[in-house]
Structure 1
Amino acid sequence: MIESEPATAAAFDRLAETFGDVLTRGQMMGRPCLFLADGGRRRMLACLDAEVLGVRLGRTTDAFADALALPGASVFSPGSGRKQFKDWVGLPAVASERWEPLVAQALESAG
């Protein structure tokens, strides 16, 4: 499992609690994630990768462009690898106050 600083893990826990009525916790790639039930399957909308929260916003949305403009944000690349999740923005822990509204926008986009 990928480790996060205690404050970052606590911020993710608050997200999971806030959206607990519509998102479920789980793991993918050894990372804690939030999933939306979508027609019998789970759709990952947020993923904590150490000190970065990846949020699936959709690369053509205004929310994606706005999130990328935040200091330290980038296209999400779990494990700092070469594979980018092109519809995802990686938000650093220092921007954790923006995590909740962006996860709400991801939910809205997921429809």
Structure 2
Amino acid sequence: MSLDPTIASRLKRNDAGLFAAVAQERGTGDVLMVAWMDDKALAKTLETRQATYYSRSRQQYWVKGETSGHTQYVHEVRLDCDGDTVLLVVDQVGAACHTGTHTCFDSDVLLSAE
């Protein structure tokens, strides 16, 4: 499986060939997590609708929920205006964060509305 060349030409990757992927919950709009992708991970995500990322620490691909059961079904994928980040709009089953919480952004609020 390979990424459509039209899409690939629009992506801006870091020195490791990666770009950021933001997962957002379709029903609530919650930002669930940020991970990394490369062309192969994005191609697999687009083909299967299963969120597939690249682990920098393990240097391998992982499908969200493959071992935990906490899956992400991908409804929509958007490329940002700079081409360096993709947004995945997903249905999340179970926790999105590796700590077991629904979102990776629910513990440390640095600033909130007054």
User: Does TM, scored on the shorter chain, surpass 0.5?
Assistant: no
More helix by share: 1
Which is higher, the Rg of structure 1 or of structure 2?
2
TM-score band, normalised by shorter chain: under 0.3
Q: Which has the higher contact order (CA 8 A, sep 6+)?
A: 2
